[in-house]
Amino acid sequence: MRFNTISEAIEELKRGNPVLIFDAKGREEEVDMVFYAGAIDYEKIYKLRMEAGGLICYASLYSLAERIDLKFIADILSSHENYREMATRRLGYGDPPAFSLWVNYINVRTGINDKDRALTIRKLHEVFTEIWNNNVEKARKMFYNEFMAPGHVPILLSRGLDKRRGHTELSTTLALLASLVPSIVLAEMLDKGESLSLEKAFQYAKKNDIVIIDGESIINYWRRSEQ
C-alpha cells in the first residue's frame, strides 16, 4: 500500500474530483472522502452518500467563521448549565469537536435529499468565499438572512493544524495548499458495522482511480510551506 503525493491530491481537488484522506495511526484511523465545495453538485453528494456513507459535512476555517460570529456548538451549549457537562466531554482520541451549526438554505424543500444538500453547501461556499475576499458584511447578511438552523448540513470549523489534526483541519489545509478557498465537503468512509479499513480504502482507491493521501504528508507539506 502506497499513498499518492500531495501534488496529485492538489490537482485532483482543483479538478473537482474526490480525494481520500487517512488521518493517522493512533488517532481516529479513518479515511474521509473529500471534495472542494466550489465544485459540488448533487451527483457528488450522491457519491458521498453511497460510496463513503458517513455524515456529509461542510468544512471551513474557524478564523473565517468567527468574523460573522459563527461559533462552535460546544461553546454555545457550554453557556447553558443543563448542557455544559455534556458539551465538555471528549471522545477517546481527545480532540474537541469541530461541529458548529447544522443548517439548511432557505430555498430547499426538506433539506435532506442530494439536490437540497448540494444547494445548501453551494450557498455556504458562497458565504465563506465572501469572507475570504473580505466582504464580511455581505457574508454576514447572506448567512443570517438566507439560512435556517437546525438543518441537514453540519458545519465543521478548523482550528488549524497547530491545534488539531482531524479531517476538518487536514482537508481545509489541503484546499489552502491548492490555493483554493478553504471550503470543503467531506464524509467518512464506512464499512458494514464499522469504519472502512485503510486496506479496503486502498483497494477502493485503486479500483476507482482515486487519489489517497495521509495526514502526515499534508502536515509535512504545510510545515514546509509555512517556512
> For 29-33, 93-97, 98-102, 202-206, which range has the lowest pLDDT when averaged over its residues?
93-97
Does 23 reside within a domain? yes
What backbone phi and psi angles, to 5 degrees, belong to 175? -60, -45
| Number of neighbours of residue 112 by Cβ within 10 angstroms | 12
Query: Which positions are catalytic?
Result: 32, 57, 93, 104, 152, 188
- Report yes or no on 1 lying in a domain: no
Residue 91 has pLDDT above 80, yes or no: no
> In this model, does residue 94 exceed pLDDT 80?
no
Domain that holds residue 174: 6-194+206-226
Please write the tens of the pLDDT for every residue from 206-226: 999 999 999 999 999 999 887
Class of residue 113 by CB neighbours under 10 A (exposed 0-12, middle 13-18, buried 19+): middle
Q: Determine the 3-state secondary structure of 192 from DSSP.
A: coil
Q: How many domains, the chain?
A: 1
Give me the pLDDT at residue 214, please.
96
What is the distance between the alpha carbons of residues 106 and 88, in angstroms, rounded to a whole number?
31
At 25-49, the pLDDT tens digits run 878 789 999 999 999 999 999 999 9
Q: What is the pLDDT of residues 99-140, one digit of tens each?
A: 999 999 999 999 999 999 999 999 999 999 999 999 999 999
Mean pLDDT over residues 140-162, rounded? 97
Write down the pLDDT at residue 93: 65
Q: What is the CATH number of the domain that holds 140?
A: 3.90.870.10
167 part of a folded domain = yes
Cβ-based neighbour number of residue 93 at 10 Å: 13
In-domain check, residue 199:
no
Partners of 189 in the β-ladder: 53
Q: Are 8 and 177 in contact (CB under 8 A)?
A: no
In a domain, 79, yes or no: yes
What per-residue confidence (pLDDT) applies to 163? 86
pTM, to two decimals: 0.95
